[in-house]
Amino acid sequence: MKNIDSFQDRQKNAVAAKARMIAKLAARPGTDDPVVIARAAERRTIDEARTARQTERQNAEAAKEKARQEAVAREAAADEASAKVRRDARYAARKLRAEPSAG
């Protein structure tokens, strides 16, 4: 099939299409439209709630990590104390063994 549209026909079609696009854009509600304002407020509320949840989650994770670190520190202190007790017991046993032979 051969395209029989003339240049003027194509030009008219282009102008009509441009006019339709402009009309479509003009039909959009403006920024001062109550629906747009309500939608923006709803988005802000959702964003604020999301930020609050994220902050809560971060605080909970920080508290959990702090508790874990404290538990590790307590365990290390307990291990150190038990090691000291074992070392003291070995020292006392060595001292008891050394006393009879010295006397």
Q: What is the pTM of this model?
A: 0.50
Cβ proximity of 36 and 30 under 8 Å: yes
Cα–Cα distance measured from residue 18 to residue 40, given in angstroms and rounded to the nearest whole number: 30
Mean pLDDT of the region 14-32: 90
Cα–Cα distance measured from residue 77 to residue 69, given in angstroms and rounded to the nearest whole number: 12
For 90, the 3-state DSSP assignment is helix
pLDDT digits (tens, 9 = 90+) for 38-60: 999 999 999 999 999 999 999 99
Domain ranges of the chain: 30-102
For residue 29, name the pLDDT band (cuts at 50, 70, 90): confident
For residue 96, name the pLDDT band (cuts at 50, 70, 90): confident
- pLDDT above 90 coverage of the chain, percent: 72
pLDDT digits (tens, 9 = 90+) for 57-70: 999 999 999 999 99
| pLDDT at residue 5 greater than cutoff 80 | no
